[in-house]
Structure 1
Amino acid sequence: MEKLCGLQLKGGPSSYSSGKGKNHEGDIKFGFDLVKGKANHPMEDYHVATFVEKDKHELGLFAIYDGHSGDRVPSYLQKHLFDNILNERGFLVDPKKSISKAYEKTDKAILSQEKVLGRGGSTSVTAVLMNGERLWVANLGDSRAVISKGGKAIQLTTDHEPSAERASIEHKGGFVSNMPGDVPRVDGQLAVSRAFGDKSLKCHLRSDPAIQDTTVDTKTDLLVLASDGLWKVMGNQEAIDIARRIKDPQKAAKRLIVEALERESKDDISCVVVRFK
């Protein structure tokens, strides 16, 4: 299979990316937009948005990687995670098993390259659209995928928040802090309970993804992937309602980010919108 690197990768450590594309038939269109937040560090959000062919199957590949404590891990994910998923033996037969195994292998590779990639980490939300008919979504952390069926927002991912997985963290010997004015954090540091990387916290973190699949039927009109910079200030249905009003998915992604900024989101904000009809 042709390597994915370079096909869709339009981001760099300090990039502010925006773009669009479509599948071979032209009936499924996507757009994306990324904006750096107000924090005093380089852009830590990366994305993937492209269509590729594998064994005569058309695959739409979409992702948001939201890094923390540096941009090296999300950059690595942008280059390697989808390659690892699609190169898993039996991917077309059992996508869920292949995605799970690829996430595990990718995390081990990141941890083994700490000297190069640093001690930071990244959340991840990935979506694989198979032949425009079946959608497989996986995530670690609080980047989120929401689909619209007949205008109704359906969240396909699970936000991995420390308070929701406190029992697992404490069972492994960690703790969840809950300081006034702050969000719950694993060992007082990380605001998500699952992530790639984060070697110093890995004994208390999980890196197994939550995976969901759904049929893309005649009622399915939109898919929105975004980092928590959007979801902190916007509900699922709000995002879908805004995106549905705009035919051009790139303009829809831009509009969602503008709305998040107007609501004073200070984080890096990344958004991919896929329009099925």
Structure 2
Amino acid sequence: MEDYHVAEYRYENDHELGLFAIYDGHLGDSVASYLKANLFDNILKEPLFWSDPQEAIKNAYSSTNKYILENTKQLGPGGSTAVTAIVVDGTDMWIANIGDSRAVVCERGTASQLTVDHEPHTTNERKRIEKQGGFVSTFPGDVPRVNGQLAVARAFGDQSLKAHLSSEPDVKHIKINSSIEFVILASDGLWKVMKNQEAVDLVKSTKDPQTAAKRLTSKALGRMSKDDISCIVIRFRC
């Protein structure tokens, strides 16, 4: 396991913030560990956070990635995907991601994917990678990879691929209302063996979010998922 997660509450500027994240590391866990300790702090230190959260999140992702790449002697050559959620006063949620960790919302019992899986073979990602001088190959193996090495097109770190990877997150704002029941954040070890609606159906009757998360990870393990499995369930009371 090279995953790390964050699930905590803070009070900042008279606001209650719920901070949730899954960091799925590769080639070691140093980058994911660094993200766990620092990414949310970097986001909240952004001067624009309270006026323009989307821009603040993008700026913090970029500056954090720059720091990681400049400090590979300490952090190593590896990298990490990320999916983060910031819930402000229980009424607004900002979801961001790079890579293939995913956020799925349950709204009136129906699953909707909130994030984009940044896979190298998709048209937009392949075009960007090739424009930057890289290539996408299924050799070795049968999974599309950037320069035949990494199976995601966006990530933190990865010094050897930095010219061909992006650290720009997709960011989405969700207004929390009575129709929003819960959100699942999970690394790809869950989503490789479970569809979005199936995951929602499995836990929608489970009121305790920690129990729900454990149920999802256990089901993925039972299906012999061969990748890291980390999961957080955020349940709302509206």
Instruction: Name the counterpart of 1:66.
Output: 24
Q: CA deviation at 1:140?
A: 0.4
Instruction: Name the counterpart of 2:87.
Output: 129
TM-score normalised to structure 2 length: 0.97
Instruction: State whether structure 2 residue 196 is matched by structure 1 residue 233.
Output: no
Q: How big is the alpha-carbon RMSD for the aligned residues of Structure 1 and Structure 2?
A: 0.9
- Write the letter of the residue equivalent to 2:36: Q
Instruction: Name the counterpart of 1:57.
Output: 15
Write out the 4+ residue segments of structure 1 that deviate beyond 4 Å after TM superposition. none
For residue 128 of structure 1, give the secondary structure of its aligned residue in structure 2: strand
Q: CA deviation at 1:266?
A: 1.7
Instruction: State whether structure 2 residue 58 is matched by structure 1 residue 94.
Output: no
Instruction: Name the counterpart of 2:225.
Output: 265
TM-score normalised to structure 1 length: 0.83
Instruction: State whether structure 2 residue 223 is matched by structure 1 residue 223.
Output: no
Aligned equivalents of 1:90 and 1:135: distance in 2?
A: 16
- 1:212 maps to which of 142, 167, 172: 172
Instruction: Name the counterpart of 2:115.
Output: 157
For residue 77 of structure 2, give the secondary structure of its aligned residue in structure 1: coil
- Write the letter of the residue equivalent to 1:116: Q
Q: CA deviation at 1:181?
A: 4.7
Taking the TM superposition and a 5 Å limit, the aligned residue runs for 1:1-277 are: 43-164=1-122, 165-179=125-139, 181-277=141-237
- Write the letter of the residue equivalent to 1:209: P
Q: CA deviation at 1:180?
A: 7.5
Runs of at least 5 residues in structure 1 that lack an aligned partner in the other structure: 1-42
Identity of matched residues, % = 60
Flag the structure with higher helix content.
2
Aligned equivalents of 2:58 and 2:118: distance in 1?
A: 16
Q: Which has the higher contact order (CA 8 A, sep 6+)?
A: 1
For residue 28 of structure 2, give the secondary structure of its aligned residue in structure 1: coil
Asked whether the equivalents of residues 140 and 148 of structure 2 are also in contact (C-alpha less than 8 Å), the reply is: no
For residue 77 of structure 1, give the secondary structure of its aligned residue in structure 2: helix
Aligned equivalents of 1:127 and 1:87: distance in 2?
A: 16
Q: CA deviation at 1:154?
A: 1.0
For residue 103 of structure 1, give the secondary structure of its aligned residue in structure 2: helix
- Write the letter of the residue equivalent to 2:159: K
For residue 206 of structure 1, give the secondary structure of its aligned residue in structure 2: coil
Give deviations 1:50-82, integer Å, cap 9, x for gaps: 110110011100000000000000000000000
Asked whether the equivalents of residues 22 and 82 of structure 2 are also in contact (C-alpha less than 8 Å), the reply is: yes
For residue 20 of structure 2, give the secondary structure of its aligned residue in structure 1: strand
- Write the letter of the residue equivalent to 1:147: V
Say if 1:78 and 1:180 are closer, same or farther in 2 by CA, change over 3 A. Answer: closer
For residue 139 of structure 1, give the secondary structure of its aligned residue in structure 2: strand
